[in-house]
Amino acid sequence: MSKDHNAQKTCWNCPALELRGHVDFRACGQSMRKFMTEGQAMAECKRRPELGLFDPASLTFEECPEWEEGPYGYQLRDMRVLILGIDGYLGWTLALWLGSLGFRVAGVDNFNRRRWVAEEGSHSVVPIAPMEERLRAAKEVLGIEISFREFDILDNEKLRQFIQEFQPEAIVHYAECPSAPYSMVDFQHAAYVQHNNVIGTLGLLFAMRDLAPEASLIKLGTMGEYGTPLTGRPIFEGIFPADAVLQWDGREWSLGGELTPRDPVSFYHVSKVQDTFNVYESCKYWWLRSYDVMQGVIYGVHTEQVAADPRLRTRFDVDEWFGTVINRFVAQAVVGIPLTIYGSGGQTRGFLALRDAMQCMTRLILSPPEPGQYDVVNQISGVYRVRELAETVARIAADEFGLEVEIQRLENPRVEADEHPYEVVYEKLPQQLGFEPQVTLEEEVYQMLKLLIQPSIRSRIEAIRQVILPKTRWSGLHKEMDVIERYKVRPRRVVGLGAEGGGEDDPER
Ligand code: USQ
């Protein structure tokens, strides 16, 4: 696996760099000269004060003794990472993942996700332990000490205190309400999601300005900020490339460096767009550095760490509000609910397995942008249509686990194109940051089925059957979705899955 992605980064990228001097600029942060006095760089290293004032471009990660070789590139020794939203699906998984790599991990959560899911009468179908037990098990089983604080990040005073105390070198911001349907229930839910997400992030940005300006912010955005441009123009990584051109009225201009248009697909996705601008502006005004991570739909249940002990498992939601599409299909297959394709199923999205998302986040943490740099990555590993996904899940469930699976096409509760072009550019992670996906869709679906089919988990899915079918319409209408069509797919053995896999494709297909 590529480890060289950050070897040639310099102190400019290192969160231990402390910029000195009066910062005065008006445009987006490119001019490093602002930190220089007559050619001398105004920077010191917080970890190596003996260096005094030095030129940050003169030292690479490869050369600095504070950066050591690790499996995902050079790694800042005992790097302090603060995870906001550490109790969630991604937050908990990342805490254990980073802890096992030797990072010092701290986290904040107010357990809202547990409450939102309970609000509709649902639960994580993979049982999760209370936080005290999670922390104890992390120590016992993996030898990881996590420093945890319970509070709402909207409580800016508490957030500031903890940032001051822990002095993070990277902050991963997962502490938002991540559900499109939840934000579309009614005015109260829409307002709540936008307030929670946008104001929480804004408070964090001000806290970083005052207390941790050198830390790198890895902010979770979403591919859904872009929508699905019906013209078919490529979905770039947040910012137009240098050679993009706008032609109009016989004239032309470069679009290079400008933010690309956003066309969010729910009030939740709108909150992420608002965050994008707030983070972008903060980098511009205060020299903060940030990756805005336009993550696709995550699926999966497996990393080595969460699988190490039942108390370390991460949550797994499959209800209509908080379950994402592949996870939902797998659960539906296990309890015999026909897989719920919305509309024609031609919706195309970028997807990423949980374990691969962890690899991406690690690489982003280890390659911080330069001060003032707002960068965007499209974090996906493959692009699929919803109906392809349903068919893949149905086949693996039937072939490998002998499950009888039907697929149903329902009236689409959402307002979205269900047949559309989709050309997404996702180059930075694989080409510049060394990301190599390790998990195939089929393997992860197999792993999920293997876990969910266990009687104790299957019965937890049965117990929330009533919240699996969609009820929340974007139109606000309260009416069950009509079934448009039901069908079965023919079995086709997927080669190489599990001990019993490995058959031939059905010749009749
Ligand atoms: N869909 C179905 N059947 C279902 C559930 C969903 O056909 O039972 C369809 C939806 O209509 C949509 C697509 O599958 O076209 C994806 O839906 P989803 O619920 O899996 O994902 P989404 O609502 O887009 O949101 C999820 C996460 C969110 C994240 C986003 C990434 O909940 O936090 O931001 O994925 S993305 O979709 O790329 O914007």
147: domain CATH number is: 3.40.50.720
Task: With a cut of 80, say whether residue 278 has pLDDT above it.
Answer: yes
Please tell me the distance between residue 432's alpha carbon and the centre of ligand 1 in angstroms. 28
Tell me the average pLDDT across 371-381: 96
Whether 215 and 281 share a structural domain: yes
Q: Point out the catalytic residue in the list 72, 201, 228, 272.
A: 272
Domain-located, residue 509: no
Please give the tally of structural domains in the chain.
2
Name the residue with the closest Cα to ligand 1, atom 14.
325
Whether 258 and 362 share a structural domain: yes
What tens digit of pLDDT does each residue of 299-344 get?
A: 999 999 999 999 999 999 999 999 999 999 999 999 999 999 999 9
Please tell me the distance between residue 380's alpha carbon and the centre of ligand 1 in angstroms. 14
What tens digit of pLDDT does each residue of 477-486 get?
A: 999 999 999 9
Q: Are 394 and 333 in contact, with CB atoms under 8 Å apart?
A: yes
Name the residue with the closest Cα to ligand 1, atom 34.
222
What's the rounded Cα separation, in Å, for the pair 425 and 222?
14
Domain-located, residue 506: no
Strand 43-45 and strand 17-19: the pairing is antiparallel
Q: Are 186 and 193 in contact, with CB atoms under 8 Å apart?
A: no
Please tell me the distance between residue 324's alpha carbon and the centre of ligand 1 in angstroms. 6
Name the residue with the closest Cα to ligand 1, atom 17.
325
Domain-located, residue 322: yes
Number of Cβ atoms within 10 Å of the Cβ of 415: 11
Whether 41 and 130 share a structural domain: no
Task: With a cut of 90, say whether residue 297 has pLDDT above it.
Answer: yes
Whether 59 and 17 share a structural domain: yes
What tens digit of pLDDT does each residue of 164-188 get?
A: 999 999 999 999 999 999 999 999 9
Site to probe by mutation for ligand 1, drawn from 113, 222, 276, 461 as the one with most ligand atoms within 8 Å of Cβ, is: 222
Please tell me the distance between residue 269's alpha carbon and the centre of ligand 1 in angstroms. 11
Active-site residue flag, 182: no
Name the residue with the closest Cα to ligand 1, atom 39.
224
Length of the chain in terms of residues written: 509
Whether 377 and 492 share a structural domain: yes
Whether 269 and 360 share a structural domain: yes
The backbone region for 96, taken as left when phi is positive above 0, alpha when psi lies in -120 to 50, beta otherwise, is: alpha
Whether 65 and 99 share a structural domain: no
What's the rounded Cα separation, in Å, for the pair 323 and 299?
9
What's the rounded Cα separation, in Å, for the pair 200 and 197?
5
Is residue 69 helix, strand or coil?
strand
Select the more confidently predicted residue: 220 or 508. Answer: 220
Closest CA to 416 of 240, 234, 233, 180: 180
What tens digit of pLDDT does each residue of 428-437 get?
A: 999 999 999 9
What tens digit of pLDDT does each residue of 101-154 get?
A: 999 999 999 999 999 999 999 999 999 999 999 999 999 999 999 999 999 999
Strand 67-70 and strand 73-76: the pairing is antiparallel
Active-site residue flag, 219: no
- Residue that is last in its domain, among 73, 95, 111: 73
Active-site residue flag, 222: yes
Share of the chain above pLDDT 70, in %: 92
What tens digit of pLDDT does each residue of 92-103 get?
A: 999 999 999 999
- Residue 17 has a pLDDT of 87
Rounded to two decimals, what is the model's pTM?
0.94
Domain-located, residue 505: no
Domain-located, residue 507: no
Whether 9 and 126 share a structural domain: no
Whether 200 and 265 share a structural domain: yes
Q: Point out the catalytic residue in the list 268, 384, 426, 446.
A: 268
Task: With a cut of 90, say whether residue 42 has pLDDT above it.
Answer: no
Name the residue with the closest Cα to ligand 1, atom 5.
325
What's the rounded Cα separation, in Å, for the pair 276 and 262?
10
Q: Ligand 1 pocket by C-beta < 6 Å: which residues?
A: 178-180, 222-224, 296-297, 324-325, 328, 340-342, 347, 349-350, 386, 414, 416
- Residue that is last in its domain, among 39, 54, 73: 73
Domain-located, residue 410: yes
Tell me the average pLDDT across 442-448: 98
Residue 432, domain extent: 78-500
Domain-located, residue 306: yes
Whether 43 and 140 share a structural domain: no
Whether 134 and 248 share a structural domain: yes
- Residue 435 has a pLDDT of 98
Tell me the average pLDDT across 238-257: 95
Domain-located, residue 508: no
Task: With a cut of 80, say whether residue 447 has pLDDT above it.
Answer: yes
Please tell me the distance between residue 255's alpha carbon and the centre of ligand 1 in angstroms. 30
The pair phi, psi for residue 5, each rounded to 5°, is -60, -25
- Residue 38 has a pLDDT of 57
pLDDT band at 53 (very low <50, low <70, confident <90, very high): confident
Whether 269 and 288 share a structural domain: yes
What's the rounded Cα separation, in Å, for the pair 206 and 253?
35
- Residue 498 has a pLDDT of 62
Q: What atom of ligand 1 comes closest to residue 220's alpha carbon? A: 34
- Residue 504 has a pLDDT of 36
- Residue that is last in its domain, among 73, 101, 132: 73
Q: What atom of ligand 1 comes closest to residue 322's alpha carbon? A: 32
Name the residue with the closest Cα to ligand 1, atom 15.
347
